Amino acid sequence: MDVVARLHGARKRYGDTEALRGVDLEVPAGRVLALLGPNGAGKTTAVQLLCGLRQADAGTVEVLGGDPRQPHTRRQLGVTPQETGFPEALKVREVVDLVRAHYPDPWPTDGLLSRFDLADLAGRQTGGLSGGQKRRLAVALAFAGRPRLVLLDEPTTGLDVDARRGLWRLVGEELAAGRTILLTTHYLEEAEALADHVVVLAGGLVRASGTVAEVKGRVELTRVRARFAVPPDAVPHVVRSAADGDRTTLFTADADGLVRHLVRTGADFSQLEVSPVSLEEAFLVLTAGEACDDRPAEPERARS
């Protein structure tokens, strides 16, 4: 599989904090890779290295066969940073035209505004936009130059549900057009809906990588959910449980053994459901306690 961007042994320190501690990461061509992790995991630092905004203290950074700090490489990138500021007096159309001017073959202005539901805002100054409208503009600008690789750092923060799902549709269209997308997000259902591959960062290290199914399989847990007349107590094989009204979810490494125990002990239950854990549930297990864990550990290679 072709790789369009990679970090190899990447390290980055800010004062006493080592944001990345020898990270290996590969972004496969024509796919969506979701980079996940709790706050402080190193996600934004990794994105900044890949788009040339920061330089690694050690290790190598390669994007589209070159150095992302070089202009000819960066012209092939589109980026939505986590935080974006626009000149408040400029109109939306003017901002789009300004960004388009940096690329040799950009999207037509009207087409880009229409695709991202910004046509009605084209004549409005950016200082008068709502937070969600500014975020839509920031994402639109990442695609303005028809880039080969798009880096989206928390792109749907501040968007309502309809706008978020609209962006998901556009990502699918761009993927079909042959673009490669690296996405960071705190919305785990977003990663599960969009990503071909997932890399989980915690404490500046790669904790898991692979397809969504492979990452979920890393935790080796199954979700058993049922409506119990009396909440179960001291059930074997249960790693943790969560109550939601009169329904209880039990997470277990032995679903068969758990169900047999419930039947054998005469537990009063109904509406039994047995299903794999979600990506969000796997993420919580993989990153539990890692956000503040500064113990050295051997990084795992992020496979494509």
Q: 292: which residues sit within 8 A by CB, 6+ positions away?
A: none
Question: Which pLDDT score, from 0 to 100, does residue 292 have?
Answer: 37
Taking the C-alpha atoms of residue 196 and residue 192, their distance in angstroms, rounded to an integer, is 8
Taking the C-alpha atoms of residue 280 and residue 28, their distance in angstroms, rounded to an integer, is 23
Q: 81: which residues sit within 8 A by CB, 6+ positions away?
A: 47, 138, 153
- Whether the CB-CB separation of 96 and 140 falls below 8 Å is answered with yes
Taking the C-alpha atoms of residue 152 and residue 171, their distance in angstroms, rounded to an integer, is 10
- Whether the CB-CB separation of 200 and 215 falls below 8 Å is answered with yes
Low-confidence ranges of the chain (pLDDT < 50): 290-304
CATH number of 3-213: 3.40.50.300
Give me the amino acid identity at 15: G
Q: 223: which residues sit within 8 A by CB, 6+ positions away?
A: 249, 250, 251, 273, 274, 275, 276, 277, 278, 281
CATH topology of domain 220-276: Alpha-Beta Plaits (3.30.70)
Domain-by-domain residue ranges, the chain? 3-213, 220-276
Question: Which pLDDT score, from 0 to 100, does residue 288 have?
Answer: 67
Instruction: Record the pTM.
Output: 0.77
Taking the C-alpha atoms of residue 207 and residue 115, their distance in angstroms, rounded to an integer, is 36
- Whether the CB-CB separation of 302 and 26 falls below 8 Å is answered with yes
